Amino acid sequence: MSDAYTLAAGTPIGQRFLIDAPVGAGAQGEVYRAQDRNVRGHRVAIKLMRHPARTEDQRTAAMRELELLSAVHHPSVLHFLDYGWHEGRLWFAMPWLEGETLEEMVLSRQEAKPVFEKLAAGLAALHAVGIRHQDLKPANVFLSTVTGYDELQPQLLDLGVAVRSGELMAAGSLAYFAPEVAGSWPMPDPTVDGKADVFALALTLREVLEPGTMPELPESQDDVQAFLERRATELVSPPRGRSLRYLRKSFARWLAIDPAQRPTADEFRRELDVLLQPERRRRRALWILFVASVVAAVATWGVFQLMKARTFESASVELSGQVAEAGERITDLEENVEAQESRVAALDEEAAEAKRRAAAAADEAAAALAAAEEAQRRGSQSASAAANARRLRAAAEEAAARAQAAQERSVQQANAATRAA
């Protein structure tokens, strides 16, 4: 047995579990697969703290991770099933998951979107109860397969260095430090919030989309200080791959030096739709390619006809002209599609503005009608008051009708433009 592990197979843990095999170890603890003696075939993961808790303060500190785990209930946040003490060391049982960490995986944009949406939702759940993870990285995200479904379920692991709002503890993995964490290291900064986790999540996303982009970790103390200074003041480079270049603007926001410019975890989740945006462009490109193929086929047929009556040299000249014309037509098609898309977007905005005007007109109408009804309710006998009430009612109805007509026209125009595109 490795020195990293202190329990042999068959060691009982509590009254319920038997150690099966070691699966991982770190500075703070050891993780084992174990069998549930009460339920045949039920396996769990046992995390055993590395050091005994001999004093009350040490026992309280050891229980922190369990208290944090029990504070949030979310499918993307690992929960515990049981806990106890083994020779003075805290242990707790968690569900046994089949899969691997993100550290071992490369994901496409299509695969990454649902995984990171779930991770961001789990992170938002932690932040909602005032907990900051502090050590989010690929090695602390486990991907398991949902039984019966071809679906990956991520789990946020290791809340051992997580903190609650108001707690001051600087911890985490250097490579995934947010600028505000790096700028104050090694002292904890009381202004650091959940957006430091969002920074680490965005770095994790970049790493699984484009492996090997993380900088090498510094070895000497001088190198560490230089790394921290760069992280605190320089924007982390966005993805460089050709298929990911369009994401640079999004990553510049997600990895912004100023945390105020970064999204919250829930906003980050909603912004992940950007991962699939190129699909529409690709469909458009395929349509243009199809048209180009048709044009090329027609040109080829023309050349064949020409070759019957002309020399090869004449046919080549004719082909060159037709290819050039086909290129111009493809360019025109691209420009036309882009113009139609811009027009659809503009009409969408006009429709939205019409809806806002309609809502405002409806509010005015409601206020006018309420005023008229109030005047009538009070039994005013003044002819001018009655006339004013009638005028207000008529104006309100007219405003509502105009707004409704404007909205319908905008919607019709948007639909027509969409069909044209």
124-176, pLDDT tens digit by residue? 999 999 999 999 999 999 999 877 777 889 999 988 889 998 787 878 889 99
Domain map of the chain by residue range?
A: 12-95, 99-276, 279-420
Which of 3.30.200.20, 1.10.3080.10, 3.40.50.300, 3.40.1830.10 would CATH assign to domain 12-95?
3.30.200.20
DSSP E strands in 139-216: the ranges are 141-145, 152-156, 163-164
Determine how many CB atoms are found less than 10 A away from the CB of residue 148. 6
CATH topology of domain 99-276: Transferase(Phosphotransferase); domain 1 (1.10.510)
Where helices occur in 234-311 by DSSP H, the ranges are: 248-254, 265-271, 278-309
| Residue with the larger pLDDT of the pair 126 and 300 | 126
Q: In angstroms, rounded to a whole number, what is the distance separating the alpha carbons of residues 92 and 176? A: 27
What is the Cα–Cα distance from 131 to 118, expressed in whole angstroms?
A: 17
H or E element, residue 89? strand 89-95
Write the Ramachandran bin of 215: left for phi over 0, alpha for psi from -120 to 50, otherwise beta: beta
Question: Does residue 100 contact residue 37 with C-beta atoms inside 8 Å?
Answer: no
Q: How far is CA 41 from the centre of its chain?
A: 36
Region 110-122: what's the mean pLDDT?
A: 97
Instruction: Please state at what angle helix 109-128 crosses helix 195-209, rounded to 10 degrees.
Output: 160
Per-residue model confidence (pLDDT) at position 285 = 44
Tell me how far the alpha carbon of residue 284 is from its chain's centroid: 25
* Band (315; pLDDT cuts 50, 70, 90): very low
| H-run or E-run covering 372 | helix 312-377
Q: Is the pLDDT of residue 186 over 80?
A: yes
Q: How confident is the model at residue 342 (pLDDT cuts 50, 70, 90)?
A: low
pTM over 0.95: no
Q: Residue 306's pLDDT is what? A: 46
pLDDT in the model for residue 111: 95
- Phi, psi angle pair for 91, to nearest 5°: -130, 155
CA gap 205, 269 in Å, rounded:
12
- Sequence length of the chain is 421
Same fold, 12-95 and 99-276: no
| The amino acid at 165 | S
> Contact 262/127 with Cβ under 8 angstroms?
no
